């Protein structure tokens, strides 16, 4: 059996004696006899490290891992620079707790401060928190923080990932907030409908940029409509695209949220991921989660510390805007290393390649007989419509390519990233052509 208890039985006996206890059982005298376990829990005996390693390697190998991935829909296969893994494996940074003790946590605090700075640079916002669980919870927290006594309605674009909408519905049911979906029109949020729905009871409106179908929204125009109704504009932005696209701040958003996974975090069957949240200065005190601030120490040296803590659950308790405590700090480290490794031009280059390759794939698929569902500008994802979607995806899989995500009515949501080489995109299109022949 494996164990991480270092004490020998002689040491344990000695400690029991010195603490005044006869045996281990006497330490648990307060546990009522009738519920004290007579037997060990019904799980197998312990294994050695070697057995555990080998057996779990066997289990891991039962997952099919693709070299070419043309599926995104919330989890994206980007190149991860080696330096990201190297730095994110540093034992102290991996095993440290939340940096409540500033004097011995300057490293973790500075790293989070740097992450916040990069998120602000990316989004154009004034303040970023130290992360929430993932993009969907960032979206949910983002709209919930806008609720006011007289504004209890949230409008959510129908062109948002249905998984995000599901999370928002779950969160809203708790608070008793009302959710309405703004209909989709030709792949974009219907702004006319937005104008009708947004009113004096609307707290926040959520759009995605690019949206679930990959299409770039007329977000600036949406912002005018939202603000005219006195509501807050929450924009869910894919972070790689921000190397290229207008910032949420420039588009008029009050709050920017999104999934930070594309920034150096592996697919990992969906987690851990990274929810980023940033806002305009006016909303800083409503932003949930931890925030690191810069200050000075007793002798005037630059110091970092968790700040604005009176917003948080450990002080404000039931009046806090969120209950979040643990976040995704180690993923902020990955994102910060990623962003500084690629740098501003590098991020732009990744974005350019994603978009160019997606357009190349779309062109090749059209030649193969799969047509674009919407004639709208898109970033690195797009929807096709046509016959035989099941057979297409199966044929691709048999050839080692993870095809797009099957949507309803034979539609497929495709994605290309900088990792997809032209020859593989050609091969994918050939396979599709073969199926449709």
Partner 1 sequence: MCLIPENLKYTATHEWVEELEDGRVKIGLTDYAQKELSDIVYVNLPEVEDEFEAGSEMADVESVKAVSTIYCPVSGKVAEINEELYDAPEKVNEAPYEAWLVILEDVSMTDGLLDNYEYAKVIEEEKD
Partner 2 sequence: MKLLNEESVKGRSLSLIGKCDVEEYIPYSRFLRDEVPELPQVSEVTLSRHFSALERRSHGVNNGFYPLGSCTMKYNPAVDEEIAAFEGFTGAHPLQDDSEVQGSLQVIKDLEDRLSAITGMDAFTLQPAAGAHGEFTGLLMIKAYLESIGETERNKIIVPDSAHGTNPASAAMAGFNIVNVPSGPDGCVDLEALRQAVGSDVAGLMLTNPNTVGLFDKNILEITRIIHEAGGLCYYDGANLNAVMGIVRPGDMGFDVMHLNLHKTFAAPHGGGGPGSGPVGCKEFLAEFLPGSHVEEKDGALVRVRPAKSIGDMRSFDGNFLVAVKALSYIWMLGAEGVKEASQNAVLNANYMRVKLSDIYTPAYDTTCMHEFVLNLQKLKAETGCSALDAAKGLIDYGIHPPTMYFPLIVHEALMIEPTETETKETLDEAINALREIYDKAYNDPEYLKEAPHSTVIGRPDEVAAARHPIVHW
Rounded Cα distance between 380 and 238, Å, is 10
Using CB under 8 A as the binding rule, whether residue 152 contacts partner 1 is answered as: no
Question: Least Å distance between CB 211 and partner 2?
Answer: 13
Using CB under 8 A as the binding rule, whether residue 421 contacts partner 1 is answered as: no
Helices 329-368 & 422-436, crossing angle to 10 degrees?
50
Q: Which residues contact 403 (CB under 8 A, 6 or more apart)?
A: 70, 71, 392, 393, 396, 397, 412, 414, 428
Stretch of 149-157, 190-198, 225-233, 293-301 lying at the interface with partner 2 (CB under 8 A): 293-301
- Range 301-320, binding partner 1 (CB under 8 A): 308-310, 315-316, 319
Rounded Cα distance between 275 and 372, Å, is 30
Q: Which residues contact 358 (CB under 8 A, 6 or more apart)?
A: 214, 378, 379, 380, 381, 382, 414, 415, 416
Rounded Cα distance between 86 and 48, Å, is 27
Using CB under 8 A as the binding rule, whether residue 101 contacts partner 1 is answered as: no
Question: Least Å distance between CB 320 and partner 1?
Answer: 9
Binds partner 2 by CB under 8 A, chosen from 22, 64, 149, 437: 64
Give Cα separations from 206 to 19, 147, 215, 222 (angstroms).
59, 13, 15, 10
Task: Look at residue 407 and give its three-state secondary structure.
Answer: coil
Rounded Cα distance between 342 and 124, Å, is 19
Binds partner 2 by CB under 8 A, chosen from 121, 229, 395, 436: 121
- Range 157-176, binding partner 2 (CB under 8 A): 161, 163-164, 166-167, 169-171, 173-176
CB 257 within 8 A of CB 277: yes
The values of phi and psi at residue 384, to 5°, are -110, 160
Residue 164, binding choice from partner 2, partner 1, none, Cβ under 5 to 8 Å by partner class: partner 2
| Cα 354-358-360 angle, rounded to 5 deg | 120
Question: Least Å distance between CB 310 and partner 1?
Answer: 4
- Range 366-385, binding partner 2 (CB under 8 A): 377
Stretch of 180-188, 191-199, 224-232, 318-326 lying at the interface with partner 2 (CB under 8 A): 318-326
x/- track of binding to partner 1 for residues 228-267 (CB under 8 A): ----------------------------------------
Rounded Cα distance between 79 and 157, Å, is 30
The values of phi and psi at residue 87, to 5°, are -75, -40
- Sort 201 into a burial class: Cβ within 10 Å, 0-12 / 13-18 / 19+: middle
Using CB under 8 A as the binding rule, whether residue 390 contacts partner 2 is answered as: no
Binds partner 2 by CB under 8 A, chosen from 148, 185, 371, 422: 422
Question: Least Å distance between CB 365 and partner 2?
Answer: 14
x/- track of binding to partner 2 for residues 201-220 (CB under 8 A): ---------------x----
Using CB under 8 A as the binding rule, whether residue 285 contacts partner 1 is answered as: yes
Using CB under 8 A as the binding rule, whether residue 90 contacts partner 2 is answered as: yes
Binds partner 2 by CB under 8 A, chosen from 233, 254, 357, 383: 357
Stretch of 88-96, 152-160, 185-193, 367-375 lying at the interface with partner 2 (CB under 8 A): 88-96
Using CB under 8 A as the binding rule, whether residue 400 contacts partner 2 is answered as: no
Instruction: List the structure tokens of 258.
Output: 């999104």
Contact residues for partner 1 (CB under 8 A)? 285, 308-310, 315-316, 319
């Amino acid at each position: 059996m494996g164990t991480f208890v270092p004490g020998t039985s002689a040491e344990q006996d000695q400690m029991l004696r010195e603490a005044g206890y006869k045996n281990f059982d006497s330490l648990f005298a307060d546990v009522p006899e009738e519920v004290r376990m007579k037997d060990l829990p019904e799980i197998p005996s312990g294994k050695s490290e070697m057995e555990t390693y080998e057996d779990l390697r066997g289990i891991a190998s039962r997952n099919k891992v693709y070299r070419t991935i043309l599926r995104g829909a919330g989890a994206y296969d980007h190149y991860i620079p080696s330096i990201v893994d190297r730095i994110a494996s540093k034992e102290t940074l991996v095993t440290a707790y939340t940096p409540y003790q500033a004097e011995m946590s300057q490293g973790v605090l500075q790293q989070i401060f740097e992450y916040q700075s990069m998120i602000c640079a990316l989004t154009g916002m004034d303040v970023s928190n130290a992360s929430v669980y993932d993009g969907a919870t960032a979206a949910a927290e983002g709209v919930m923080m806008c609720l006011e006594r007289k504004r209890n309605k949230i409008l959510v674009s129908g062109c948002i990932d249905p998984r995000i909408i599901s999370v928002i519905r779950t969160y809203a049911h708790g608070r008793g907030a009302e959710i309405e979906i703004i209909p989709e029109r030709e792949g974009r949020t219907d702004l006319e409908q937005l104008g009708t729905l947004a009113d004096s009871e609307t707290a926040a409106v959520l759009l995605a940029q690019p949206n679930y179908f990959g299409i770039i929204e007329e977000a600036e125009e949406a912002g005018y409509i939202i603000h005219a109704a006195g509501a807050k504009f929450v924009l869910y932005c894919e972070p790689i695209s921000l190397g290229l696209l207008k910032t949420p701040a420039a588009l008029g958003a009050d709050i920017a949220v999104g999934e930070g996974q594309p920034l150096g975090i592996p697919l990992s069957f969906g987690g851990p991921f990274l929810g980023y949240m940033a806002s305009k200065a006016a909303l800083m005190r409503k932003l949930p989660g931890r925030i690191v601030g810069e200050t000075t120490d007793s002798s005037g040296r630059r110091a970092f510390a968790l700040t604005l803590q009176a917003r948080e659950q450990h002080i404000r308790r039931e009046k806090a805007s969120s209950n979040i405590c643990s976040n995704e700090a180690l993923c902020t480290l990955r994102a910060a290393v990623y962003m500084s490794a690629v740098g501003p031009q590098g991020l732009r280059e990744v974005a350019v390649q994603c978009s160019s390759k997606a357009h190349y794939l779309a062109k090749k698929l059209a030649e193969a007989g799969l047509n674009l569902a919407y004639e709208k500008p898109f970033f690195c994802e797009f929807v096709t419509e046509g016959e035989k979607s099941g057979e297409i995806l199966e044929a691709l899989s048999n050839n080692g390519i993870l095809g797009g995500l099957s949507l309803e009515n034979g539609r497929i949501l495709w994605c290309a990233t900088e990792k997809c080489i032209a020859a593989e995109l050609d091969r994918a299109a050939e396979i599709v052509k073969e199926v449709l022949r």
